[in-house]
């Protein structure tokens, strides 16, 4: 189902009934449940999250009934009716009841909806433990087990990140056996919500003393809650969406239940929103007949506003929508903690960029530049009620028809949202029509696909969608032809396969080529595997030395090269290789592009133009079928990138590659309806497998870019509507820069998987906001294919703060040097097991044996930590560990920290020899602006990093040496450092 919102320009008119405040309802219900006797709460609230609180309290034995519009609550000591209490998906319910369940008459386990179980709660659990609440929770996540034992009191500190953590401590502390002092440390967000908690506690006879600075709370023990009568005020948070709609359209709308008073006179923590709306120019007037707020105007452009989101964090979604329609730039400050709500709301609202908006993250500020008009788009609500409603309001002013996921999310806080909005003239509806299965959107089944050879899969696509694009070659001036359709790709692959057979290529033979990201690369791949031969692509930047070595080692009889590329004459270079005293045994050279005579090689290799040679072929279908390989035939010989030594020849089977491609597609929800952008070299596994091969398996078009350039990439993404890309971290940084320099965010791009090197968290956060796409961390290798991957729905800390979790069908573990498996949280050697492992290294059985454990796991050579939730964090390479006098330096974490320095564009830390300590750390930095060693030290000191971990030398460089997939070649930096030190000591 989707929420369909049609853009419209008609005026809005009518009345909106504002529901009562769920903030007050949560607190009133919980406080009433603690009071011996009967309380009456007038203004029954139907919000979904409040229903979660009611359900949890009933599970704890509290009687709650509804009489007309009044909750009747009979409170007293909790007597749980079941051992498990679910908080559903309500963060407020979770945070408030976690401590209070210690007051129950029996032990309780708190649980919640599956996706909700990763909600951050560890800081609260630590603080509750500090006042004597005994809690058992694995890695600070649900489920949480709490014995029936009241708190003892004590003095604790709690971060001021979320008000609900502080309110939770205040609610339980009056029932402790000793006095409690709560100190708020760090930035204090949402202070008005804490004030509301204290005010409502007072209504139920519970008292909290607040020190003058507002950061220390003192609570006497042994207090008793008394019943009360509470009248719930209107919910400004719900009214916000109607007010925003009335601001974006000509309107005459009465907000029934919302009194026309100043913000200071309204009992609601989000009352300041009304003042911000007035500042933006929205006429909030008192209706003389009712006293409620009325908005009446003929249409006007709003003024920008500056908002401190620490006061009204839940208003960020609706304020960003209003900012998108204002004249100028709306600045939403202090937004970091808003990312810990039901979803990462900062990233979610960056989807306005898909609608033509201009939203970007600048440090801890979200900047929303107004635009004249938004356009329709498919959007995700992330099952977040405020994101859904805010984007729906934005879509009402867009052109065309927009669609949003999780259409019923609004029920969490505003059940009547759709009825109310449509009642004043908007056009929103849940599309409940039966959805016919669309084969283009089918989720792949890895096992089933792996049983089919790639050539047959492509024939299926050619029959099912013959005229749809299969390969789109972008940014290749002077190249012949346009995109290849599936019919054309299938035909050209047959022609090339017939040519290879004519040249004597048989099953298991190696065909080598050195080509850029051109469509001939795809044609050759398909042709080679179609006859059971083995693909051996080589990087375009390899020179004669590397090419000669790899041709000898691969024993390829056919070699395909381009005529010229990026100023190099590959024909002349290849001729020189084949004319050398000890030439490789290449019998045939096929040249892509160019004109004129081809060279004669003394060794007797025959040269032909690839296009002419394939064009004269008349494929025999029966002959090609006769040479069709088995699914488990060898299909790929790929040489590693050589970050730590000589390249190794990695052999893979066809079913392994297909299974690996399908596993990733299943994990990310990729289907034939996607468009896969491939800027990574096709001669590397990132481009070969997770660009081209995924597209051939799914039937999704692949968009090839031969030469990387950020601005060109942005143009290509816009022109082709690409939805997915997997590429190295520098590609992501350049794309972000292209948008930051004034480019339009790529509207269709949905997911960017960053591989090859850890994604700096600051970059990932900026990319999510700038591009409007999910950024996912991953780990893989040529030998194992992709092993771990985060998902777009993961919490930000996991999506880009880790390398993801094991894909379904993959097992991962961490071991010590003796091979013993280590527990969660321990650093050790990272090992992988799956059906996607390589066959072995070409002609190097001893290398193969060394790469595998006795029980068949692949030794990656990486160090890692796996947390209790299964998320992997690669901490470095085994050979890159810096051992400073017996203390191992957490290189990856220090690099992540330095990446946040405003003067640092890129950084890598390597070991330098030291006669006393063995090794010390040196930071190689690519600066954005001048950076001194003392400045770096001050930065690390300000961020409280242990001095033993500080780099003890700084080298600034123009760029870091990286291989084609973005991995920093630290061995080159170590060599460079040794040379520098040697010269200094001479």
- Catalytic center residues: 314
Residue tagged 């979604």 (tokens): 317
Q: Which residues are annotated as a binding site for 3-phosphoshikimate?
A: 22, 27, 163-164, 314, 341
Q: Which parts of 721-821 are beta strand (E)?
A: 724-728, 751-755, 774-781, 785-789, 805-806, 810-815
Dist. CA 301–CA 294, nearest whole Å: 18
Dist. CA 816–CA 608, nearest whole Å: 55
318 close to 240: Cβ distance less than 8 angstroms: yes
Q: Which residues are annotated as a binding site for phosphoenolpyruvate?
A: 22, 91, 119, 164, 345, 386
3-state secondary structure of 832: strand
DSSP-derived secondary structure for 262-309? -GGGS-STTTHHHHHHHHTT--EEE-TTTSEEEEEES--PBPP-EEET
Dist. CA 339–CA 562, nearest whole Å: 49
Q: Which residues are annotated as a binding site?
A: 22, 27, 91, 119, 163-164, 314, 341, 345, 386
Dist. CA 568–CA 102, nearest whole Å: 73
Of the candidates 66, 55, 62, the residue with the CA atom closest to the CA atom of residue 76? 62
Helix axes 163-172, 122-130, angle to 10 degrees: 30
The encoded tokens of residue 524 equal 């050759």
631 close to 452: Cβ distance less than 8 angstroms: yes
The encoded tokens of residue 905 equal 């564009």
Residue 853 CB-density burial (10 A; 0-12 exposed, 13-18 middle, 19+ buried): middle
- Around Cβ 850, how many Cβ atoms within 10 Å? 10
What sign results for the dihedral spanned by CA atoms 377, 381, 385, 386?
negative
Q: Which parts of 474-557 are beta strand (E)?
A: 484-485, 510-514, 534-537
Distances (CA, A) of 22 to 240, 349, 387: 14, 23, 17
305 close to 279: Cβ distance less than 8 angstroms: yes
Dist. CA 16–CA 729, nearest whole Å: 48
Dist. CA 822–CA 863, nearest whole Å: 12
218 close to 4: Cβ distance less than 8 angstroms: no
User: Which strand (E) or helix (H) includes residue 146?
Assistant: strand 144-146
Dist. CA 111–CA 720, nearest whole Å: 45
Dist. CA 476–CA 735, nearest whole Å: 19
Query: Assign residue 889 a region: left if phi > 0, alpha if psi is -120 to 50, beta otherwise?
Result: beta
944 close to 935: Cβ distance less than 8 angstroms: no
Q: Which residues of 118-147 are buried (b: 16+ CB within 10 A; e: fewer)?
A: bbebeebbbbbebbbbebebeebbbebbbe
47 close to 284: Cβ distance less than 8 angstroms: no
Terminal-residue alpha carbon distance, the chain: 73
3-state secondary structure of 462: helix
In sequence order, the 6+-apart residues with CB closer than 8 A to the CB of 198 are: 170, 208, 210
DSSP-derived secondary structure for 875-907? EEEGGG-EEETTEEE-HHHHHHHHHTSTTEEEE
879 close to 911: Cβ distance less than 8 angstroms: no
Dist. CA 661–CA 280, nearest whole Å: 50
Q: Which parts of 363-445 are beta strand (E)?
A: 365-369, 378-379, 401-404, 428-431
Dist. CA 718–CA 711, nearest whole Å: 11
Q: Which parts of 648-697 are beta strand (E)?
A: 649-653, 676-678
């Amino acid at each position: 189902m989707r929420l369909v919102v049609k853009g419209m320009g008609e005026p809005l008119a009518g009345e909106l009934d504002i529901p009562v405040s769920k903030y007050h309802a949560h607190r009133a219900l919980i406080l009433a449940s603690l009071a011996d006797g009967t309380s009456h709460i007038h203004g029954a609230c139907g919000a979904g999250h409040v229903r979660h609180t009611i359900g949890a309290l009933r599970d704890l034995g509290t009687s709650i009934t509804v009489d007309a519009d009044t909750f009747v609550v009979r409170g007293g000591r909790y007597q749980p009716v079941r051992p498990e209490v679910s908080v559903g998906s309500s963060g407020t319910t979770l945070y408030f009841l976690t401590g209070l369940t210690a007051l129950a008459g029996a032990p309780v386990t708190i649980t919640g909806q599956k996706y909700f179980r990763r909600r951050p709660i560890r800081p609260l659990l630590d603080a509750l433990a500090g006042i004597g609440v005994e809690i058992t929770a694995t890695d600070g996540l649900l489920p949480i087990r709490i014995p029936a034992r009241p708190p003892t009191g004590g003095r604790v500190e709690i971060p001021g990140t979320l008000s609900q953590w502080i309110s939770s401590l205040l609610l339980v502390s009056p029932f402790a056996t000793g006095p409690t002092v709560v100190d708020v440390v760090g930035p204090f967000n949402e202070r008005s919500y804490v004030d509301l908690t204290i005010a409502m506690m007072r209504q139920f006879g519970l008292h909290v003393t607040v020190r003058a600075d507002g950061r220390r709370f003192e609570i006497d023990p042994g207090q008793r809650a008394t019943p009360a009568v509470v009248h719930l005020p209107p919910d400004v948070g719900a009214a916000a969406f109607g007010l925003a709609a009335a601001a974006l359209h000509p309107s005459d709308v009465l907000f029934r239940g919302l009194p026309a008073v100043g913000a200071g006179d309204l009992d609601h923590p989000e009352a300041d929103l009304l003042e911000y709306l007035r500042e933006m120019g929205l006429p909030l007037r008192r209706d003389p007949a009712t006293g409620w707020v009325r908005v009446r105007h003929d249409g006007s452009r709003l003024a920008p506003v500056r908002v401190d989101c620490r006061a009204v964090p839940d208003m960020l979604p609706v304020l960003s929508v209003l900012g998108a329609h204002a004249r100028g730039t709306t600045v939403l400050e202090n937004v970091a903690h808003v990312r810990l709500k039901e979803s990462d709301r900062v990233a979610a609202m960056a989807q306005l960029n898909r609608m033509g908006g201009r939203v970007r993250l600048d440090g801890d500020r979200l900047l929303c530049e107004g635009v004249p008009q938004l356009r329709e788009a498919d959007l995700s609500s992330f099952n977040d009620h405020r994101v859904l409603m805010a984007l729906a309001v934005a879509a009402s002013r867009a052109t065309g028809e927009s669609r949003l996921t999780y259409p019923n999310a609004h029920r969490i806080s505003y059940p009547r949202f759709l009825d109310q909005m449509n009642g004043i003239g908007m056009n929103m509806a849940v599309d409940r029509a039966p959805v016919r299965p669309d084969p283009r959107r089918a989720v792949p089944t890895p096992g089933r696909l792996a049983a089919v050879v790639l050539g047959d899969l492509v024939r299926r696509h050619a029959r099912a969608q013959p005229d749809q694009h299969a390969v789109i070659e972008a940014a290749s001036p002077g190249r012949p032809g346009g995109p290849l359709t599936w019919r054309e790709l299938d035909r050209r692959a047959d022609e090339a396969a017939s040519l290879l057979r004519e040249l004597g290529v048989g099953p298991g033979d190696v065909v080598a080529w050195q080509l850029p990201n051109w469509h001939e690369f795809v044609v050759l791949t398909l042709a080679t595997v179609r006859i059971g031969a083995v693909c051996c692509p080589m990087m375009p930047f390899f020179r004669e030395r590397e090419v000669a070595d790899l041709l000898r080692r691969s024993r390829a009889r056919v070699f395909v090269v381009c005529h010229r590329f990026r100023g190099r004459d590959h024909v002349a270079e290849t001729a020189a290789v084949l004319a050398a005293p000890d030439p490789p045994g290449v019998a045939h050279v096929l040249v892509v592009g160019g004109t004129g005579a081809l060279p004669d090689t003394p060794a007797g290799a025959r040269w032909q133009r690839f296009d002419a040679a394939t064009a004269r072929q008349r494929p025999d279908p029966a002959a090609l079928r006769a040479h069709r390989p088995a699914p488990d035939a060898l299909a790929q010989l790929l040489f590693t990138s050589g970050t730590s030594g000589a390249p190794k020849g990695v052999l893979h089977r066809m079913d392994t590659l297909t299974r690996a491609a399908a596993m990733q597609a299943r994990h990310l929800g990729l289907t034939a309806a996607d468009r896969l952008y491939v800027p990574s070299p096709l001669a590397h596994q990132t481009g070969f497998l997770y660009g081209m091969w995924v597209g051939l398996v799914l039937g999704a078009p692949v968009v090839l870019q031969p030469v990387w350039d950020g601005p060109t990439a942005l143009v290509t993404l816009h022109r082709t509507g690409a939805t997915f890309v997997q590429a190295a971290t520098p590609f992501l940084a350049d794309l972000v820069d292209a948008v930051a320099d004034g480019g339009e965010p790529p509207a269709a791009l949905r997911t960017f998987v960053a591989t090859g090197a850890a994604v700096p968290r600051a970059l990932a956060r900026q990319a999510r906001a700038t591009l409007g796409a999910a950024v996912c961390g991953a780990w893989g290798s040529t030998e194992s294919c992709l092993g771990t991957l985060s998902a777009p729905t993961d919490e930000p800390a996991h999506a880009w703060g880790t390398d993801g979790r094991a894909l379904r069908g993959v097992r991962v573990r961490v071991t010590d040097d003796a091979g013993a498996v280590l527990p969660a949280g321990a650093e050790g050697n990272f090992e992988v097991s799956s059906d996607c492992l390589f066959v072995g290294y070409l002609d190097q059985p001893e290398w193969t044996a060394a790469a595998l454990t006795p029980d068949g796991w692949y030794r990656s050579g990486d160090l890692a930590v796996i947390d209790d939730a299964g998320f992997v964090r690669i901490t470095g390479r085994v050979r890159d560990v810096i051992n400073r006098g017996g203390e191992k330096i957490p290189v990856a974490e220090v690099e992540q920290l330095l990446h946040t320095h405003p003067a640092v564009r890129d950084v890598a830390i390597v070991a330098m020899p030291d006669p006393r300590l063995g090794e010390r750390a040196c930071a190689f930095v690519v600066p954005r602006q001048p950076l001194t060693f003392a400045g770096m030290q001050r930065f690390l000191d300000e961020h409280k990093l242990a001095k033993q971990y500080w780099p003890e030398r700084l080298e600034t460089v123009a760029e870091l040496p990286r291989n084609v997939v973005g991995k920093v070649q630290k061995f080159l930096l170590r060599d460079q450092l040794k040379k520098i030190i040697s010269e200094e000591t001479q």
